[in-house]
């Protein structure tokens, strides 16, 4: 646990990346695997991750992301895209896959499938998208910790036009919507104003309440 705290104290929202430094495939794949293993409600994994390597696509995303240089200067750019809706077909797909992987059907699990179907059917498409987007943020959190553990800098970013990114990456055709983007790479200390500033977080007594 000490190592985790050290890693989290080390990381910060990197403002300037060294474009000449690239992540090796092993580090990137471990970060992606950590995201894949992240917990999600009912195990649905209602989001996908896009690794945007194409320079032209990244340049277009930068244009609709307040021209933030991290989008193009970082070694890699991840885009977290949530399901536009949690549909019966998507629920069935994941429940069927679970049965296939585990090699059996569980009566309680199948009853839960029906309950979940009724819950999402009672919600609007927008509410279901919001629920899926919240799960994407769980994956983002895991990605930040995994990147820090690998000594990789990261910058979680909501500062972009989601509809524009959806169009650039043709996400609508895949029934997905962009939620958050995550540049990954290595900091460039001499041009990053934030690199040497103290990390600021509220003290524990103002942040954690214990109810005994």
Domains of the chain (ranges, CATH numbers) = 4-86+124-206 (3.40.109.10), 89-122 (no CATH)
Helices 125-149 and 25-36: crossing angle in degrees, nearest 10, is: 140
SS3 of 37-85: the string is: CCCCHHHCCCEEEEEECCHHHHHHHHHCCCCCCHHHHCCEEEEEEEECC
Tokens 């992240």 belong to which residue?
A: 38
Task: Judge whether residue 1 has pLDDT over 80.
Answer: no
- Please indicate, yes or no, whether the overall pTM of this predicted structure exceeds 0.75: yes
The string of pLDDT tens digits covering residues 37-90 is 999 999 999 999 999 999 999 999 999 999 999 999 999 999 999 999 999 999
Q: Got the DSSP string for 143-193?
A: HHHHHHHTT-EE--B--S-HHHHHHHTT-GGGTEEEEEEEEEE-B-GGG-T
pLDDT value, residue 32: 98
Q: Are 76 and 28 in contact (CB under 8 A)?
A: yes
């Amino acid at each position: 646990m000490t190592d985790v705290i050290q890693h989290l104290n080390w990381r910060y929202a990197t403002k300037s990346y060294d474009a000449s430094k690239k992540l090796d495939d092993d580090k990137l794949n471990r970060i992606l695997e950590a995201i894949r293993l992240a917990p999600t409600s009912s195990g649905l994994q209602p989001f996908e991750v896009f690794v945007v390597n194409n320079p032209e696509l990244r340049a277009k995303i930068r244009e609709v992301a307040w021209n933030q240089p991290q989008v193009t200067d970082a070694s890699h750019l991840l885009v977290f895209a949530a399901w536009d809706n949690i549909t019966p077909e998507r629920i069935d797909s994941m429940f069927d896959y679970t049965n296939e992987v585990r090699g059996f059907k569980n009566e309680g699990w199948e009853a839960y499938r029906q309950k979940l179907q009724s819950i999402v059917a009672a919600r609007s498409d927008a509410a279901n998208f919001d629920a899926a987007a919240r799960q994407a943020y769980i994956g983002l959190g895991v990605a930040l910790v995994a990147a820090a553990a690998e000594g990789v800098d990261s910058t979680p970013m909501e500062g972009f036009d989601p509809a524009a990114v959806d169009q650039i990456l043709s996400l609508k055709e895949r029934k997905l919507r962009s939620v958050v983007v995550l540049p990954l790479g290595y900091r460039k200390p001499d041009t990053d104003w934030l690199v040497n500033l103290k990390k600021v977080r509220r003290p524990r007594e103002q942040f954690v309440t214990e109810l005994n």
